[in-house]
Structure 1
Amino acid sequence: MSTKARSILLLAFPDVQLLDVSGPLQVFASANELAAQQRLAEPYAPRVVAAEAGLVTSSSGLALLAHSISSVKGLIDTLIIPGGRGVSAASEDARLTRWIRRQTSRSRRIASVCSGAFLLAEAGLLDGRRVVTHWGRCDELANRYPKLRVETDPIFVRDGDIWTSAGVTAGIDLALALVEADLGRSIALQVARELVVFLKRPGGQSQFSAVLSMQGADDRFGDLHAWMVAHLASDLSVPMLARRLHMSERSFMRHYKAETGRTPARAVEQLRVEAAQRLLGETSWPVKRIASRCGFGSEESMRRSFVRLLRVAPQAYRERFSFC
């Protein structure tokens, strides 16, 4: 670890999303606590700043005590822009956007959490870059700022010295990635374990799990999905699933697609791929064993599904996301 603490600034504004600030803040604080336990110099010097010094009330009603942005002097290691209900008003604050824009020459890297990407975009820092925000606001971000290359699926995206992340808890994933980039995988993994979170989420850092993305308004197939996840190596053909729900195959196919937006076959494939992703990342099992455990007929069948859904082969996925 470096003997000089890296300055981490988290910008607050009225109606900021509390977890967008406190999630990353705790990651850096935990890294400091870990260093202290090992009698090492604290690697980070985080603080919350705002347009004016004093209390800033978050959208949840809890107030944050912030330093004034005018008190920020010298170079900054990392500037993090959170999102929240108040991001639209913050984007209209010319003083704030000018200050953010000026930090590009003073900061080693700049990041946003959730809808904080709107503030970075308004400051002109995201033009031509790959970015992500909360899944519910990706279309709005793309339409409002057409020069951005908005991606809808990742938990976070790094494009050069700009990092953007998805909704709310993704700020924790982002902060862990920053710690890993600074201090190495071992330290970041220890912080993740301390916080009882994934260093890299199963699912290839996707905003959605397969089960979550299949959930409809009344989730009438929720119990079936839970059973499918527990029996991936079983017969999950349409006739079998229809019989389990005491429905005709035709009726099951029609209602299932209307509710989930996909065919039962595609749903089964997604569930099996997600389970295989988890095992590839968390175990050292041979690919053949994982293919069998997840209900794929063969390694080749699993490979085809991975390439079709993830655009990467199982072994390449393991090399990128394995914890082992």
Structure 2
Amino acid sequence: MRDLLLILLAALGGAAVVWLPGALLLRLLHRRSITLNICVLLAVTVLAMLAGVFAVAGGMFISPHDLTVLLVVVPLSGLVSLAIGWWLGRRLARSAMWAEDARAHERQVEASRRDLVAWVSHDLRTPLAGMRAMAEALEDGVVSDPATVAEYHRRIRTGTDRMAALVDDLFELSRINAGALRLSPVDVPLGDVVSDAVAAAAPLAAARRVRLVTEPGNWPLVRASEPELSRIVANLLLNAIRYSPSDGTVTVTGGRDAEGGWLAVADTCGGIADGDLPRVFDVAFRGAKARTPAGDTAGGGLGLAIVRGLVEAHGGRVEVRNVAGGCRFEVRLPA
């Protein structure tokens, strides 16, 4: 019993000689990588075991043969432990980084959701208040001359159309963000989709005195869902027309290269501030005040966000850059 107690005390003393500085080292490394901390922990554990073995051997409790065996087994076990610890440490580090990225993304999404709710509430409240006031004026007979009544009816219809478009955009964006978007990819002639979108946007362009130009080119076949691709092209055209001044020009080009099919819409908006370029595809971003036409209430700030979501759902990408006199949106899709 006395020998067992002495062995225990010797082993504890030898291990303590290593564990005390090891604990201090781990404390100093607590802000360093997880892999480094796990490797240091395992190294301290193996060294503490060796120190305990040497302390017991020094007390003549272990034969020279047994000591040799231990000095071979323990270091080999330590090397295996360090290798496993390094591997596990890297896995834990990746998991920790993924978890932190997921938390940061969740916080960002939650902040965006709050901003979107506040923005939608504001964007709906203003036209609703005006429509309600005009409806009450018509109902109470405050206005009776045909011209004013017709103008009130026109404004109510315009406000209704705008809110309906906003609700449609919100529904589309919610499908994209919720992962509920179901695409049916087929081989689509990009030139035909562009031709239809240009024809649909022509009346708005004419009303704003903006010239629409489609440059002839080698329009490719792309792998896409046709309704969503039409929405992409239409949103880009409407955005370009909206921000181009009177007598401006919107140019649509397309083609094929080594990466696949591409489509570009260039306008004469005067360019986008460098600080705003990274935010162009954000939800509810409408650009600088100087770039937004005075009194313009069209557009809800969702069109380009929808474009990015739909393009990425197709496995493509969309980019924007400033060019001479305006900016250029480029969409790349799988051929």
Q: Could you state the TM-score of these two structures normalised by the residue count of structure 2?
A: 0.19
Looking at CA atoms only, which structure, 1 or 2, has the larger radius of gyration?
A: 2
